[in-house]
Amino acid sequence: MDANPRGIPRAPFVEDVDEYMKTDSPEATLRKLSETVSKYRFMENSRLQQRGSLEQKIPEIEKTLDIVDYLRDRQGTSEPIETLFEVNDTLYAHATVPPTATVNLWLGANVMLEYTTDEAKELLASKLTVAKTGLKNAIEDLEFLRDQITTMEVNIARVYNWDVKQRRLQREASA
Amino acid sequence: MSSDDSGQQAISIEDLPLAQLQTIKAQLEAEISELTGAFSQMKQAQGAFRECKRCIDTLAPGSQDKTILVPLSNSLYVPGKISNIDSVVVDVGTGYFVEKSTKDAGTYYDHKIDYVQDNAKKIQETVEQKQASYRGLLEVMQLKITQQQQQQQQQAGAKAPTAAGE
B112-148 residue pLDDT tens: 999 999 999 999 999 999 999 899 888 888 888 898 8
Pairing of strands A91-97, A81-88: antiparallel
Does any CB of chain A come closer than 8 Å to the CB of residue B113? no
Q: How much is the mean pLDDT over chain B?
A: 85
Closest chain A C-alpha to B147 CA, distance in angstroms: 48
Search chain B and give the residue with CA nearest A62: B73
Q: What is the pLDDT of residue B4?
A: 47
Domain with B66, as residue range(s), is: 18-152
pLDDT tens, B85-110? 888 999 988 999 999 998 899 999 99
* DSSP assignment of B60-124: -GGGTT-EEEEEEETTEEEEEEEEEEEEEEEEEETTEEEEEEHHHHHHHHHHHHHHHHHHHHHHH
Distance CA B21, CA B71 (A): 57
Search chain B and give the residue with CA nearest A105: B76
Instruction: Judge whether B166 lies within some domain.
Output: no
Burial of A105 per CB tally in 10 Å (0-12, 13-18, 19+): buried
Q: What is the pLDDT of residue B21?
A: 85
Instruction: Judge whether B61 lies within some domain.
Output: yes
pLDDT band at A56 (very low <50, low <70, confident <90, very high): very high
Average pLDDT for residues B138-161, to the nearest whole number? Answer: 86
CB contact under 8 A, B59 and A93: yes
Search chain B and give the residue with CA nearest A87: B55
Residue B64 near residue A79, CB atoms below 8 Å: no
Number of domains in chain B: 1
Burial of B105 per CB tally in 10 Å (0-12, 13-18, 19+): buried
- Domain A29-162, what fold? Helix Hairpins (1.10.287)
* Closest among B20, B103, B90 to B57, alpha carbons compared: B103
What are the extents of the domains in chain A?
29-162
Nearest to A89 among B48, B74, B79 (CB): B48
pLDDT tens, B42-86? 999 999 999 988 888 877 777 788 888 888 888 999 998 888 888
**Which of A60, A79, A85 should we substitute to test contact with B (largest number of B Cβ atoms within 10 Å)?**
A85
**Which of A94, A96, A115 should we substitute to test contact with B (largest number of B Cβ atoms within 10 Å)?**
A94
Task: Give the ipTM of the model, two decimals please.
Answer: 0.74
Q: What is the pLDDT of residue A130?
A: 96
Q: Residue B131's CB: how many other CB atoms inside 10 A?
A: 14
SS3 A113: strand
Q: What is the pLDDT of residue B113?
A: 94
pLDDT of A39 higher than 80 = yes
Q: What is the pLDDT of residue B19?
A: 84
The CATH number assigned to the domain holding B63 equals: 1.10.287.370
Distance CA B36, CA B128 (A): 10
Instruction: Judge whether B7 lies within some domain.
Output: no
Q: What is the pLDDT of residue B2?
A: 40
